[in-house]
Structure 1
Amino acid sequence: MHTTGRHNLSLDEDWCFQADTAGIGEHEEWQITGLPAPRKVAVPHTWNVEEGLEEHRGAGWYEYSISIPEAWSGSRFRLHFEAVYRDAVIWVNGQRAGSHVNSGYTAFELEVTAHILHGKENRITVKADNSPSAQALPQGRSFDWADDGGIIRPVQLIVTGPAAVQHIRVTPEVRFGPAGLQASGRLLAEVQLCGPSASATVETLILKEGTRIWGDLQPLPPQSETWQLAGMEWLPVDLWHFDHPQLYQLKLTIREGGQLHDEVTVNFGFREIVVRGQELWLNREPVRLMGAEWMPGSNPAVGMAEKREDLSAMLERLKEANAVITRFHWQQGNELLDWCDRNGILVQEEIPHWQQPGEPDQQTFAAALSQAKEMICGHSHHPCIFAWGMGNELNGQSETTLRYMEQLKQEIHTLDSQRLINYVSNTVHLQPRSDATGAGDLLMWNDYIGTWHGGLDEDEVIRQMLADYPDKPVVVAEYGLCEPVYEGGDPRRTEILMHKTELYRKYPQFAALIFFSLNDYRTQMGEDGQGRWKQRVHGSVDVHNRVKPSFAALREISSPLLLSESPCWNGRELVVTLKCRKDIPSYAVQGYYVTVSADSVEGVIQVIPDMQPGELRTLNLTLTAAPAPGLTLTVCRPNGFSVLELELSQYSTR
């Protein structure tokens, strides 16, 4: 007998933890005398934000107990870890169940059915080790973020029948008709099964907001561990866009002999993002995008062990900054990417290939490819991910690095042929034609001319870059001020943001700008603070998510809409004229609306007619009385995030 369907049992509470501060290593009894006493912790957890363990780089031991019913004796059991930083060894009931090494930010799963004791308490033991490593990526202590050790993301015990889904790879396809006609889509999917099954069937449903739009019932191929979804016809679909994050669900139900074995649902979206010459096109629209990079793990209270509410608070701040595109130097968890799917942020997710080794070799290639496989396997269903990143700031002028990135891109393309693949360079301004970023689909440039890169003529650098790459758009993947190495504080940060943004806007080949960074961030190589407070002061918000004055400048410069002139009161209506930007950002504005509220009580709501870049729209808002102090005009995206606000204490009359 086995369980019915799928049970995803959260194992996030009531772990017992002990830090191996003596470097004892593996031991037959993990609760070792002479070390700090074991204590209860909740997962996600890192010891590097705890007093006395802030500088501990070594092992930490975790143990969890769970009772398994006798009635589940015929079930399949899998342990799923969203991430353990970094090298992990796992035991179940004293039996070694597996390990995961050289990658601290990718999810992994272990089949533990043979180790489970039914009708008894089961003991899960995890050793996590964040010692610097020459084999892992990131390598050694070369990287610029925190190296917090522990079980840093959620853990689940997945219980199913014997016939179960291990992984689903979805490939949404989009077909565009003549201009103005609705797009159509279909889904291809490959399902990796936990093992072959002789007589199971799979029911497939495509859902939109819980409503069935397509379904099918097929037998699973006997003795096969993979199954391909086939036969879905082209259907009218709503496209995923950062302003219209339309999501669909693929639901698979596996039965055998009339019994339910497994049931799993994944979200996905239909969208197209491609390079056309020196332009970036989203759903057949040329776009120029504005964004910022947020460095997770930076709140000293939780570090890399961020919970859902911690992630949401920072992602909401990113949306408040009008960022519609971002990048992450290392792989993130599904909770974070789910938020970006639902709320609309385009993401480049990267292998943490940061500066070292300067000229990567085949050992490094094996580690990078292994991480790429895990990253793409776990995250390819997320429509928010528009690109995979191969690394950041290696020796980009080296022929070895260029050939390495070309080889790595070819391998990643075989794993996912739908997304862009890029390498981020801080050297392309030196000799653009020979730089390794040319291996990518986009030129991605960390631009610190004026600080780290000295006093070069930036216009001359840009013109040479564009001449050397007439078929690739440019994305500025970082620009900003790095304190305390460079002085000037937040006023200089604002000046750099405004000056460089205006410079990039002059060149239509610049498809996106990603300001660095949204936040001051914790890093094990930081110049400011000690222990869990060690940080770099690069952001427009601090490590507690409190805004600095430069945040207002970032929000304003990133807004797709501007007030063309001051609002005017004609005795009956408030007349407001909006302009849709045509430089950066530049994209069609559809479904936006404006509210007028008094003392935070929402009043007039009016939808803004669709606008193309460069267009003006005049709105006539009927008010019950003339504007007065406390009255606020807010322009919002279709999903409720505001893009600009104006206090209506001053206005003209006519």
Structure 2
Amino acid sequence: MPSRRAFLAGAGAVPALAQTANSLSSSSCAALSLDGAWRFRLDSESAWRIVQTPHTWQVEAANASYYGPAWYEREFDVDAAWSECALRLEFEAVFHSATVWVNGHAAGEHLRKGYTAFTVDAARHVKFGARNTVRVRVDNSFDPLMLPRERSSDWAHDGGIYRPVRLLVTPRVFLERLEVDAEPDLHGKAAVTVRAVVRNASERAASGSLSLRLADVETGLSVQAEAGTYAVPAGQTAVVPVRVQMDSVKLWHFDHPHLYAAKVALDNGHAIEETFGVRKIEIRGTQFFLNGEAVRLMGVERMAGSHPKYGMAEPAAWIEHDHGDMRELNCVYTRVHWMQDRRVLDYCDRHGILMQTEVPTWGPKTFPEPGPQPLPELMQNGLEQLREMIARDRNHPCIFSWGVCNEIEGGRAADSYFAKTLYAEAKKLDPKRLVTYASNSVHNRLAADVAGAMDYVMWNEYFESWMGGTVADMANKLDAIHATFPDKPIVVSEYGYCACTPERPEGDEKRRSVLLGHDAVFRARPWVAGLIFFCYNDYRTHIGDKGQGVLKQRVHGVVDVYGRRKPSWELLRKESSPVERLQADVTPAGFRLAVTARTAVPAYTMRGYRVRAVVEGRGGIPLETVECDLPAIAPGATGAASGSFAEKDLRVVRFDVLRPDGVSTAGTTYERPPASGI
């Protein structure tokens, strides 16, 4: 690393950057994107080069195995009219440690927390009416005092400024964030509390008024408004609650992801807006309930950062590609091993995918030291990451639960202490949301495993793979877990097949066999409340057993690292559908399609679904499309839709059952029998 003196002097020749979109018109409120061209070099290099942020050097062939410090730098313009404003640099994430300088002055740091957002106050260091320089030192070295700890995790540790960066310009008294709690009574009303976090960056106490407006995102129309006041001492932050009641509320559901917007404005002109959903998730016995209805959920986990071209610096188009593909897989429930890009959560809010997002505490080697508690540095790091995760993501209706760790040694004292401490902290910060951890030890530890201290049990099971054994062995272990925790729902949070050792060569046929065989066991047990198949994609990881460089990976998915589907993709789609059976009857006069819903996972009331029938002629040419509504179909029930065709040549009719958003959840094909004697 260059000395601070060398840095302040401006080490080395620096290529010029094109000044595009670097200025905004005078305003007391502005948000300037700092994505795009930055100068970059590894710590061992003297010459700078231009890269495009978001960026990670791990997808560059020459740097795929480099873990250590690197530097980013760029210029930005600051309007003279902003001299009385607060200026903050907002980084959505830097992996994993960032130290920030503005015009050579140390402005802030965010260390050992590679997946959460942070801001740096820049006003005291900038030159108004002039061009300014921001420089960031990034370090992704494997670190023993952070989570994930050293090399304990199994995913890509991609270094860089890999998520968006903005310059935020506001009055010195500004809204830092909103916290929205919306609790429906399930009879058409909802109690909504919006807590406005107001920060005073000035040298004088501030007070004034604020306004709250709730609006329907779909229509843009206001549904409620309220006013309040604030008072904040100099240099402090205050939380101002505003409470309203909503009438005729539209609930958020994965099949009907209705969103509202909460906009709070201060009397000085600063305003921020957050989307939220009104929904109620609860546990009754061994079942999950969403908005008062029992649901048994199913989905698949995606490992972000796995496309070799993008790594963790995923563009919006790729995020939407993968999550759209997951919707086609009938995924309504997933989990992730670390905090996700804001654009991922926004997609899941809009399209209806429930998610557990987690503190990146991974593996039994995380807390190996003897003693009743983890190292203080790791305990503090875990708490800080949890707090930052909840502060940023708590308003997303897609967040089903918070995860505090994955595959720790659940019966060991230090591991248990860590999980219980984070559980208690999460409940304090977000009391009404579920909290758990994903265990791969509870089947052996049973009552001694900290899984029992969580709201529900999550079990990662890899019989016929990592754990060996047979389907019957798995079933016996699953029954033992239920017997130990008879009043808790059980979610199988990972299962699948990994071709990750020499004795387990890649074979998609085996992946399909595991999926079918294990699902049959789960469906025979009504206390299995959820399933998450692992994994959606083959994924890049620093401990990959296949591939070299950028393509170092685990072969574990139903698509490869480029998103190309394997045969197991279609089977997972069928297994994840709430439709158990389709019966199509076709006559010259029309059709009737009977749809029977599953009674076992995944099982939930199919409401707002439709049937699409497409008549195909010779050569598969589509000749006519007919759509009609299905009635609401409860688990185990059958509903039917009927329609008529104008087309008379009914050689082939393809039927799809469509979710409310138009995505097919199941299909069948009618083919006219050949005429007798032909």
Give the match for residue 562 of structure 2: 544
- The amino acid of 1:298's aligned partner reads S
Q: What is the distance in 1 between the residues matched to 2:553 and 2:623?
A: 39
Instruction: Give the conservation status (yes or no) of the 8 Å contact 1:202–1:252.
Output: yes
Give the match for residue 300 of structure 1: 308
Shift in Å, 1:448: 0.9
Pick 1 or 2: higher relative contact order, CA cutoff 8 A, min separation 6.
Answer: 1
Instruction: Give the conservation status (yes or no) of the 8 Å contact 1:589–1:612.
Output: yes
Give the match for residue 493 of structure 1: 511
Residues 72-95 of structure 1: per-residue CA shift (max 9 Å, x gap): 211111111110001100011111
Q: Give matches, 1:100-111, under 5 Å.
A: 100-111=110-121
Residues 245-297 of structure 1: per-residue CA shift (max 9 Å, x gap): 011100011123xxx2x111100111111111111111111111111001010
Residues 525-564 of structure 1: per-residue CA shift (max 9 Å, x gap): 0100011100000000000101000000000011112443
Is 1:461 matched with 2:477?
yes
Shift in Å, 1:123: 0.6
Greater shift, 72-81 or 334-343, is seen at 72-81
Give the match for residue 228 of structure 1: 240
- The amino acid of 2:162's aligned partner reads I
Give the match for residue 20 of structure 2: none
Give the match for residue 96 of structure 1: 106
Shift in Å, 1:618: 2.2
Q: Give matches, 1:190-339, under 5 Å.
A: 190-195=195-200, 198-209=206-217, 210-223=220-233, 225-256=237-268, 260=269, 262-339=270-347
Count residues with an aligned counterpart: 629
- The amino acid of 1:8's aligned partner reads A
Give the match for residue 502 of structure 1: 520
In the superposition, relative to structure 1, how do residues 647 and 402 fare at CA in structure 2: closer, same or farther (>3 Å)? same
Shift in Å, 1:7: 1.5
- The amino acid of 2:667's aligned partner reads E
Greater shift, 221-230 or 363-372, is seen at 221-230
Give the match for residue 640 of structure 2: 618
Greater shift, 135-144 or 219-228, is seen at 219-228
Give the match for residue 142 of structure 2: 132
Structure 1, unaligned runs of 5 or more: 23-34
In the superposition, relative to structure 1, how do residues 221 and 502 fare at CA in structure 2: closer, same or farther (>3 Å)? same
Shift in Å, 1:227: 3.5
Out of 450, 457, 460, which is 1:436 matched to? 450
- The amino acid of 2:492's aligned partner reads V
Give SS of 1:316's match.
Answer: helix
Residues 134-191 of structure 1: per-residue CA shift (max 9 Å, x gap): 01111111110001100010001111122211121111122134xxxx3x11211222
Instruction: Give the conservation status (yes or no) of the 8 Å contact 2:195–2:242.
Output: no
In the superposition, relative to structure 1, how do residues 623 and 331 fare at CA in structure 2: closer, same or farther (>3 Å)? same
Give SS of 1:377's match.
Answer: helix
Shift in Å, 1:600: 6.3
- The amino acid of 2:74's aligned partner reads Y
Shift in Å, 1:222: 4.9
- The amino acid of 2:172's aligned partner reads P
Shift in Å, 1:507: 0.5
- The amino acid of 1:521's aligned partner reads Y
Instruction: Give the conservation status (yes or no) of the 8 Å contact 1:580–1:612.
Output: yes
Q: Give matches, 1:630-641, under 5 Å.
A: 631-641=653-663
Shift in Å, 1:397: 2.4
Instruction: Give the conservation status (yes or no) of the 8 Å contact 1:278–1:471.
Output: yes
Q: What is the distance in 2 between the residues matched to 1:5 and 1:593?
A: 49
TM-score normalised by L of structure 1: 0.93
Give SS of 1:42's match.
Answer: strand
Instruction: Give the conservation status (yes or no) of the 8 Å contact 2:586–2:670.
Output: no
Q: What is the distance in 1 between the residues matched to 2:299 and 2:623?
A: 30
Q: What is the distance in 2 between the residues matched to 1:45 and 1:600?
A: 44
TM-score normalised by L of structure 2: 0.90
For the aligned residues, what is the CA RMSD?
A: 1.9
Is 1:535 matched with 2:553?
yes
Q: What is the distance in 2 between the residues matched to 1:351 and 1:611?
A: 37
In the superposition, relative to structure 1, how do residues 650 and 346 fare at CA in structure 2: closer, same or farther (>3 Å)? farther
Shift in Å, 1:405: 1.6
Q: What is the distance in 1 between the residues matched to 2:156 and 2:462?
A: 22
In the superposition, relative to structure 1, how do residues 564 and 648 fare at CA in structure 2: closer, same or farther (>3 Å)? closer
Shift in Å, 1:472: 0.6
- The amino acid of 2:192's aligned partner reads L
Give SS of 1:491's match.
Answer: helix
Q: What is the distance in 2 between the residues matched to 1:217 and 1:603?
A: 51
Moved over 6 A (4+): none
Residues 409-467 of structure 1: per-residue CA shift (max 9 Å, x gap): 11111111111111111111113111121121111000112222232622321221111
Structure 2, unaligned runs of 5 or more: 1-24, 369-373
Out of 572, 588, 591, which is 1:554 matched to? 572
Greater shift, 36-45 or 513-522, is seen at 36-45
Q: What is the distance in 1 between the residues matched to 2:76 and 2:458?
A: 48
Q: What is the distance in 1 between the residues matched to 2:258 and 2:482?
A: 35
Give SS of 1:52's match.
Answer: helix
Instruction: Give the conservation status (yes or no) of the 8 Å contact 1:208–1:247.
Output: yes
Q: What is the distance in 2 between the residues matched to 1:152 and 1:559?
A: 35
Shift in Å, 1:50: 0.8
Give the match for residue 29 of structure 1: none
Give the match for residue 582 of structure 2: 564
Q: What is the distance in 1 between the residues matched to 2:634 and 2:320?
A: 31
- The amino acid of 1:474's aligned partner reads I
Residues 496-541 of structure 1: per-residue CA shift (max 9 Å, x gap): 0011011000011100000000110000001000111000000000
In the superposition, relative to structure 1, how do residues 416 and 604 fare at CA in structure 2: closer, same or farther (>3 Å)? same
Give the match for residue 412 of structure 1: 426
Instruction: Give the conservation status (yes or no) of the 8 Å contact 1:3–1:159.
Output: no
Shift in Å, 1:357: 1.5
Is 1:452 matched with 2:466?
yes
Out of 158, 167, 172, which is 2:177 matched to? 167
Q: What is the distance in 2 between the residues matched to 1:387 and 1:503?
A: 25
Out of 580, 584, 587, which is 2:604 matched to? 587
- The amino acid of 2:42's aligned partner reads A
Instruction: Give the conservation status (yes or no) of the 8 Å contact 1:353–1:392.
Output: yes
Identity, in percent, stands at 36
- The amino acid of 1:274's aligned partner reads E
Is 1:357 matched with 2:366?
yes
Give SS of 1:14's match.
Answer: strand
- The amino acid of 2:198's aligned partner reads L
Give SS of 1:132's match.
Answer: coil
In the superposition, relative to structure 1, how do residues 602 and 295 fare at CA in structure 2: closer, same or farther (>3 Å)? farther
Q: What is the distance in 2 between the residues matched to 1:501 and 1:253?
A: 50
Q: What is the distance in 2 between the residues matched to 1:465 and 1:414?
A: 28
Instruction: Give the conservation status (yes or no) of the 8 Å contact 1:329–1:349.
Output: yes
